[in-house]
Amino acid sequence: MTVEAADHKNVVIVGGKLLVSRNKLTPASFAGHALANYLATRVPATYRVILIDRSAFALHAPAMVRAIVVPGTESRNLTAPITQETVFPANSRHRVLAPVAVRELSRTSVTLDTEFEGSTELPFDKCIIATGATQPHPLRQLAGTSLEDYRVILRHTQEELAAAKSVIVVGGGGSGVEIAGELSAHYPDKKVTLVHSRTRLLQTASQSTNKTWGFSYSPIPERLSSSLEEQLTRRGVDLALGERLVFPSGPVQDTEWDGTHSSLGQLKTVTLSSGRTIEADYVLISTGNIPNSSFVASADSGAVSDAGYIIVDHTLRVVPSSTESPLAGEYYSIGDVAATPGRKAASTANMEATALGKLLVAHLTSGKEMGQYSPTRMSGAVICLGQPHEGTDLGAGVYSFPWIGDVAAPQWILRRMAKDYFVNQTFFARFVGERKIGPEDG
Ligand SMILES: Cc1cc2nc3c(=O)[nH]c(=O)nc-3n(C[C@H](O)[C@H](O)[C@H](O)COP(=O)(O)OP(=O)(O)OC[C@H]3O[C@@H](n4cnc5c(N)ncnc54)[C@H](O)[C@@H]3O)c2cc1C
């Protein structure tokens, strides 16, 4: 513990409130990191931000769709180390703890899996849970995976996909469509089938308990789905819409799909719900997000929705199931893990981070009640179909504005996105520490 930290804590206690300490706790993520950046320069000097992540490196998730397909993309423009030096400026009182996982939540403290300042119990004044969601491996790193091991896994996936003759991508949400786009752009002669349970691409189940908020975004415009369907079909991608893979109910023959995913080793017959069959030697799962909320459910299962999202009120504060709940303290939640309104996307996570940052700063500086979050009704969905060859389609996007309606994303946005998924603007720019990072960091 530095002298600075000790001084800082003493000032907090002298601050006169019934607080054990004045730490704000956020896991590092799109939402958590953006919030940490916002708070770091604005919270009263008696507070410090502690940014925690169970991973030692952050992923630029939007670029993952390319990193699993195109050789060489696993080590550039994709990751960044989460360290004190990359996140906060020199001599900052704020702290980064990574790789450190939060194991348990109590009323005024959390339990870490690693000691910090001599203890695994870390007291807080506010705790913001922004632990995101898990996607099927390898679209996200598993907890505890080192960067070196993760790159090996990504290279292995690229090699297997390169060797595959026929790939089935399961899930026609944003990631699945982009993976089909990357595969068809990089391997124009490979057979790619995109299987989606809904009758049009990007149409998905509702992701959060928006009913709490009486708010819903406009649905994905049909013309965005049909534009992507036309473009993929022109490239030769086979679209199996309104279909599901039929998992075998018992033992299967060597030539039949056994329900596993990744490389199947040889061409196997995969049966779809309509009875249609496809020969494939690779099955890539890109279905849905599973919120990382199990440690919250362990503290209070009633604070988590059936779908696993952390229930929050209009101040983004976690709603405990009773006043006895460990979560009846100062817990907040934003991003993919929270049952906030809107599509689960980096843009939503960032908006929620800024909104919560403003509410917290106003509350901490004025001492008044927390204000309420009003989600914007603006939304956008931009889907890029890989690095285009001369004359090929780029993908499509739509921005939806209240009163104005839907506006198509301009081609330059798609071209820019196809280049590197806006890595500088939306990923590297988040790291404002004394050690600058860039493409060569991975
Ligand atoms: C393949 C793919 C493509 C995507 N493309 C786009 C796109 O083009 N545009 C867009 O807007 N969005 C896109 N998204 C969605 C976007 O990445 C997410 O919405 C965004 O990352 C959510 O941010 P978050 O901060 O809530 O969670 P994350 O960014 O997932 O961050 C959560 C963090 O919490 C950490 N964590 C989890 N559990 C613990 C714990 N117990 N203790 C400590 N730390 C923990 C994790 O290590 C992680 O760093 C994409 C996602 C994927 C997977």
Q: Taking the domains of the chain in order of start, what are their residue ranges? A: 3-136+289-376
Mean pLDDT of 163-190: 97
What is the rounded CA–CA span in Å between residue 49 and residue 39? 7
Q: What is the distance in A from the centroid of ligand 1 to the CA of 385?
A: 21
Put simply, whether the predicted model's pTM sits higher than 0.85 gets the answer yes
Confidence of residue 222 (pLDDT cuts 50, 70, 90): very high
Ligand 1: does its nearest atom lie under 6 Å from the Cβ of 430? no
Residue type, 201: L
Q: What is the distance in A from the centroid of ligand 1 to the CA of 63?
A: 12
Mean pLDDT of 384-398: 87
What is the rounded CA–CA span in Å between residue 106 and residue 110? 6
Q: What is the distance in A from the centroid of ligand 1 to the CA of 142?
A: 12
CATH superfamily for 3-136+289-376 is: FAD/NAD(P)-binding domain (3.50.50.60)
Q: Apex CA 93: angle with CA 351 and CA 316, to 5°? A: 30
Please check the confidence at residue 78 and state whether its pLDDT lies above 90: yes
Ligand 1: does its nearest atom lie under 6 Å from the Cβ of 28? yes
What is the rounded CA–CA span in Å between residue 27 and residue 118? 20
Range ranked top by mean pLDDT from 98-112, 252-266, 333-347: 252-266
Mean pLDDT of 201-215: 64
Other CB atoms closer than 10 Å to residue 329's CB: what's the count?
Answer: 18
Cβ(167)–Cβ(282) below 8 Å: yes
Confidence of residue 24 (pLDDT cuts 50, 70, 90): low
Lowest-pLDDT range, 175-179, 275-279, 401-405?
401-405
Using only C-alpha atoms, the chain has a radius of gyration, in whole angstroms, of: 23
Structure-model confidence comparison of residues 208 and 206, the more confident one: 206
Closest Cα to atom 8, ligand 1: which residue? 62
Phi then psi for residue 296, to 5 deg, are -75, -45
Confidence of residue 206 (pLDDT cuts 50, 70, 90): low
Confidence of residue 23 (pLDDT cuts 50, 70, 90): low
Ligand 1: does its nearest atom lie under 6 Å from the Cβ of 349? yes
Cβ(17)–Cβ(336) below 8 Å: no
Ligand 1: does its nearest atom lie under 6 Å from the Cβ of 176? no
| pLDDT given for residue 25 in this prediction | 61
Q: How does 7-44 read in b/e, with b if 16+ C-beta sit within 10 Å?
A: ebbeebeeeeeebebbbbbbbbbbbbbbbbbbbbeebe
Structure-model confidence comparison of residues 11 and 73, the more confident one: 73
Distances 273 to 116, 251, 277 between C-alpha atoms, Å:
52, 19, 9
